[in-house]
């Protein structure tokens, strides 16, 4: 019973936090649909503009590769290429 009460309280506390989450609008461009469907399936898209001041084009390639190889993101090769190209063109510094 205690576990259920804790879960209920946690859900009540999380509700307002989720309601405040802002919708992320990424820059339009070729490959955006691949970014939204593949990247957004695992994490918030807010990471993209948040990291863009720090990542150069080659580093975006490395980020896409890391998501696939290290974290096991199920991204097809063609989609990975489109994602990397979009990130480099739109957020490559």
Predicted TM-score (pTM) of the model is 0.75
Res 87 pLDDT > 90? yes
What pLDDT shows up at residue 1?
Answer: 61
Res 14 pLDDT > 70? no
What pLDDT shows up at residue 13?
Answer: 59
Which domains are delineated in the chain? 24-91 (1.10.760.10)
The larger pLDDT score, comparing residue 68 to residue 8, is at: 68
Backbone angle region of 78, left / alpha / beta, with phi > 0 → left and psi within -120 to 50 → alpha = alpha
What pLDDT shows up at residue 15?
Answer: 54
Which of 86, 92, 91, 84 lies closest to 68 in space, CA to CA? 84
The larger pLDDT score, comparing residue 20 to residue 66, is at: 66
Q: Which phi and psi angles does 84 have, rounded to 5°?
A: -60, -40
Give the chain's count of helices (H) and strands (E).
Answer: 5, 0
Q: How confident is the model at residue 36 (pLDDT cuts 50, 70, 90)?
A: very high
């Amino acid at each position: 019973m205690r576990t259920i009460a804790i879960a209920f309280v946690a859900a009540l506390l999380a509700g307002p936090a989720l309601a405040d989450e802002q919708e992320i609008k990424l820059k339009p461009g070729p490959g955006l649909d691949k970014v939204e469907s593949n990247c957004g399936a695992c994490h918030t898209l807010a990471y993209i503009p948040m990291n863009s001041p720090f990542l150069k084009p080659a580093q975006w390639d490395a980020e896409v590769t890391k998501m696939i190889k290290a974290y096991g993101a199920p991204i097809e090769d063609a989609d990975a290429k489109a994602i990397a190209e979009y990130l480099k063109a739109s957020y490559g510094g």
